[in-house]
Amino acid sequence: MGKRTNEGRKFMETMELISGADAIMDIILEHVATDNMDLKQIAEEQWGIIVTPVWEWLRLDPTKQREKQYRHALKYRADRLVHESLTDVQTADMTNVPLAALRANHKLKMAEKWDRENYGKEDRTGPAGGVSISVVVQRGVADHSDGTGGITIEHVTQPQIPA
């Protein structure tokens, strides 16, 4: 690893010893959930380090609680984005409708990514929600006497309909 990564790791270790893991998480969660900051911004602007050690600190927690709290903060942020998108549309006037729509749609897309459970689109592909067909085109096969023209369907999966 590089010098900046090692310096960042040392910073995170020292900060955890001095302030404690809960204090670090409070800072991260506050900035992510309410200040619309990402981990890179927090690392660089708040602590003057690169993002890699911060991400490692979150991910390498043996209890996985840090990453879980971070994901929860993103869900909170997703909820805020949905409400902000409503405000964008409601406050638009004839001069800025396209811009308001663009902003609202972007916020909704981010909400879908950060909280799929509440705002994500239903997955309609694959065995659970759609039809998947694998088509094989056989080129260079001389015998097409069966009328298929060298095209065969090898696998069809249909959705399971709940009882």
| Most confidently predicted of 94-108, 113-127, 145-159 | 94-108
The whole-number pLDDT of residue 87 equals 87
User: Which helix or strand (DSSP H or E) is residue 135 part of?
Assistant: strand 132-137
Question: Can you give the pLDDT at residue 50?
Answer: 96
Between strands 132-137 and 151-157, the pairing is antiparallel
Task: In whole angstroms, give the CA distance from residue 61 to residue 95.
Answer: 49
* Nearest residue to 118 via CA among 157, 152, 147, 77: 77
What does pTM read for this prediction? 0.65
Residue 57 has pLDDT above 70, yes or no: yes
Phi, psi for 153 (deg, rounded to 5)? -100, 120
Closest CA to 69 of 36, 32, 29: 29
Angle (deg, nearest 10), helices 21-34 and 3-19: 110
Residue 30 and residue 8: Cα distance in Å, rounded?
Answer: 21
- Judge whether 33 and 76 are in contact, CB under 8 Å: yes
Which range, of 16-25, 38-47, 91-100, 114-123, averages the lowest pLDDT?
A: 114-123
**φ, ψ at 133 (rounded to 5°):** -130, 130
